[in-house]
């Protein structure tokens, strides 16, 4: 069975593409991300375009400065952080499970965060001062629950997938039940759509240190991740402590996905599709994989957020809906391409 999981080259063998493909990919992504950042800072619910916003800054217009500093800038920073976290978490999950369809949702993190946040909205609205902390705690507990269920005895890929999907379906049913039985369904639906429109600096302060730690740790584990994706027998042959590395990767997935979902809601398809796009664009090069995934995820979420503002102006579409609308056909194209190649 042919999969899209990264298969590293043997030690000492240099990929034919060398550094050109990764560098070209990084350059293109940086250019698109820069355009997205300009659009994110310059476009909002008002009719002002980026040039008008820049003109307002040049004139030191108080209203423009306050809008950018307190509304658009934290939203932009959070979009970059959330996108990077989800993409890296997806790449880690696919390496851990050796499954090209794996994503942070497979680990129960998304559903755990959703249950915690929806329960907070419905039953304890007076705790709104806690911000995204309940969702972060719920995401961590969801991931720990899946890992503990799957690792009874020995951690098998089938057990991890089954435990993850079982917990995901159970917690999703709880969310749906709370939405049906309570009057806060509008707030619930909006949060579950996945959006960074209400981003505040408190959210940035909560999420970005955790995301930065997770991405940096994953970035220095490139070789270990490539060996991990080969399976426990091969990893042991290479001298890797498979159980320890698997546990560390699982913890990173929980940390990254939990922090991202806590402040943005469940933005789908980023963790699933970005690793495939990077392998297609830059090839199988372990040292570039995680940084390019982070860059691509940041670009995808930031661009989706801007598109949600522009295409439906003056209304806004949540970034999670935009990524689903774009990601679904794109993923189908990648699957079809993979079948043709195989």
Residue 10 lies in a domain: no
Q: Which of 241, 288, 216, 249 is nearest to 8 (CA)?
A: 288
pLDDT for 13: 38
> What's the number of domains the chain is made of?
1
Task: Assess if residue 85 is contained within a domain.
Answer: yes
List per-block mean pLDDT (blocks of 10 residues) for the chain, which spans 342 residues. Answer: 42 50 91 92 65 60 72 91 95 85 80 85 69 80 81 61 80 81 70 84 90 94 85 84 87 90 88 89 80 95 91 81 87 72 58
pLDDT digits (tens, 9 = 90+) for 290-319: 999 999 999 999 999 999 888 877 778 888
Model pTM score? 0.84
CA dist 233 and 340 (Å) reads: 30
In a domain, 21, yes or no: no
Q: Which domain holds residue 197?
A: 53-336
pLDDT at position 126, please?
66
Q: Does some domain include residue 35?
A: no
Cα–Cα distance for residue pair 287/96, rounded to 1 Å: 17
On whether residue 26 sits in a domain, the answer given is no
pLDDT at 341: 60
Rounded Cα gap, residues 266 and 194, in angstroms:
5
Q: Domain for residue 37, yes or no? A: no
Residue 219 lies in a domain: yes
Q: Is the bond preceding 314 in cis, omega lying within 30 degrees of 0? A: yes
What is the CATH classification number for the domain harbouring 207? 1.10.3470.10
């Amino acid at each position: 069975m042919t999969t899209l999981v990264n298969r590293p080259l043997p030690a000492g063998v240099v990929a034919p593409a060398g550094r050109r493909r990764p560098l070209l990919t990084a350059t293109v992504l940086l250019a698109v991300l820069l355009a997205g950042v300009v659009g994110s800072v310059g476009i909002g619910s008002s009719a002002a375009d980026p040039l008008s916003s820049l003109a307002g800054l040049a004139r030191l217009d108080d209203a423009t400065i306050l809008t950018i500093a307190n509304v658009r800038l934290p939203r932009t920073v959070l979009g970059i952080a959330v996108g990077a976290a989800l993409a890296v978490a997806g790449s880690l999950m696919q390496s851990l499970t050796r499954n090209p369809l794996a994503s942070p949702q497979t680990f129960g993190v998304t559903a755990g965060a959703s249950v915690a946040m929806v329960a907070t909205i419905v039953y304890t609205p007076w705790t709104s001062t806690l911000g995204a902390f309940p969702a972060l705690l719920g995401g961590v507990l969801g991931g720990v629950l899946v890992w503990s269920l799957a690792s009874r005895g020995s951690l098998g890929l089938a057990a991890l997938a089954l435990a993850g999907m079982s917990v995901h379906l159970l917690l999703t049913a709880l969310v749906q039940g709370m939405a049906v039985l309570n009057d806060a369904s509008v707030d619930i639906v909006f949060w579950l759509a996945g959006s960074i429109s209400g981003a505040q600096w408190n959210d940035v302060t909560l999420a970005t240190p955790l995301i930065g730690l997770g991405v940096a740790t994953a970035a220095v584990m490139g070789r270990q991740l490539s060996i991990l994706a080969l399976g426990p027998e091969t990893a042991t042959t290479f001298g890797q402590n498979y159980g320890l590395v698997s546990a560390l990767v699982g913890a990173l997935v929980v940390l990254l996905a939990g922090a991202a979902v806590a402040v943005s809601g469940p933005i789908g398809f980023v963790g699933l599709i970005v690793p495939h796009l990077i392998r297609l664009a830059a090839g199988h090069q372990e040292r570039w994989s995680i940084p390019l995934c982070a860059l691509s995820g940041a670009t995808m979420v930031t661009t989706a957020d801007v598109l949600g503002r522009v295409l439906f102006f003056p209304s806004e579409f949540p970034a999670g809906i935009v990524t689903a609308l774009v990601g679904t056909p794109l993923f189908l194209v990648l699957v079809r391409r993979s079948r043709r190649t195989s």
